[in-house]
Amino acid sequence: MQWDDLRIFLAVARDGSISGAAKRMNVQHSTVSRRIRVLETQLGTRLIERKKSGYELTAAGEELKMAAGKMEMEVLEVEGALGGQENRIAGELRVSAINNMASSVLMPIFASFNESYPDIELHVQVSNKYVSLAERHADIAIRLTNTPLDTLVGTRLANVASAVYGERNYLKALRAGSAKPRWLGVECCAFHQSWTNEACPDHRHSFFVDDTLLTLAAMKHGLGLAYLPCFMGDGDDRLERFRAPDPIHDLGLWLLYHPDLRRTKRVRVFREHMIARIGDQSALFEGRRPRHGDDTLLNREALG
């Protein structure tokens, strides 16, 4: 058996599909299928079975997944030990980031990193859900959380403030009494859901969104009030703050990676690059750069 074949098998085992594994490994669908068939021929047993819900591992497949996972950890340890001695910084680096950040404030930082280290293949993956770094879904995860997993190595890059925003004309009508306060129903994350439920206890919503980019778009059309990270809300001229940021809503922006990668040079240089560039924009993330005229707030009683 070759290690490349086992890596592909692990990708299929973790993703549950041939197409997902092919995308993750950056190879053709047919290549993944062929490699799995080669492994099954070599071992003389079926490793995966196709079901309506996707691919499932057989008993032999489960055993191979455990064994290959242990081999992968040993490879990572060797890579980390030797990677710190490399003079030339190169190789693949997969970074998972939140959609609203990856496509906006983080993209210039990613671009400058790519310019500084052209030999590193930077793969940016967007996911707002949990990403298993132990199973190598990514090498690095950039996440908003106040409770990072103890099993990961992390650096808190910044505090991210949030405020309540609304479209300018809608807020003007709200202040004049010609419009009633209404809140968007948000289903994007537990943070925004709990904050919205607290601000709007009657839970009466006529419009729901499940992503902060959709929240931003809906508010620009005057559909109501909602919480947004200040780096999003302050960056759009059509929005205005309805409430100032409250420190109890601050979230940590974390850069997380597996302990076995702590000595890998490309991980270290990416971490150092992110710390420096995020530090340069701390005022933006902390909500200390509101536009002139913002924070003209209504009484909190008007939110009921």
10-residue averages of pLDDT along the chain (304 residues): 82 82 80 88 88 81 85 70 63 89 92 94 81 72 86 88 95 90 86 86 83 92 93 91 93 89 87 92 86 46 40
Q: What is the pLDDT of residue 299?
A: 39
Give residue 86's pLDDT. Answer: 55
pLDDT at 88: 67
> In the prediction, which pLDDT does 238 show?
93
Per-residue HEC secondary structure of the chain comes to CCHHHHHHHHHHHHHCCHHHHHHHHCCCHHHHHHHHHHHHHHHCCCCEEEECCEEEECHHHHHHHHHHHHHHHHHHHHHHHHHCCCCCCCEEEEEEECHHHHCCCCHHHHHHHHHHCCCEEEEEEECCCCCCCCCCCCCEEEEECCCCCCCCEEEEEEEECEEEEEEHHHHHHHHHCCCCCCECEECCCHHHHHHHHHHCCCCCCCCEECCHHHHHHHHHCCCCEEEEEHHHHCCCCCEEEEECCCHHHCEEEEEEECHHHCCCHHHHHHHHHHHHHHHHCHHHHCCCCCCCCCCCCCCHHHHC
Kindly report whether the global pTM for this prediction surpasses the value 0.85.
no
- pLDDT value for 191: 85
pLDDT, one tens digit per residue, over 87-141 is 668 888 989 998 889 988 999 999 999 999 999 999 998 876 666 666 667 889 9
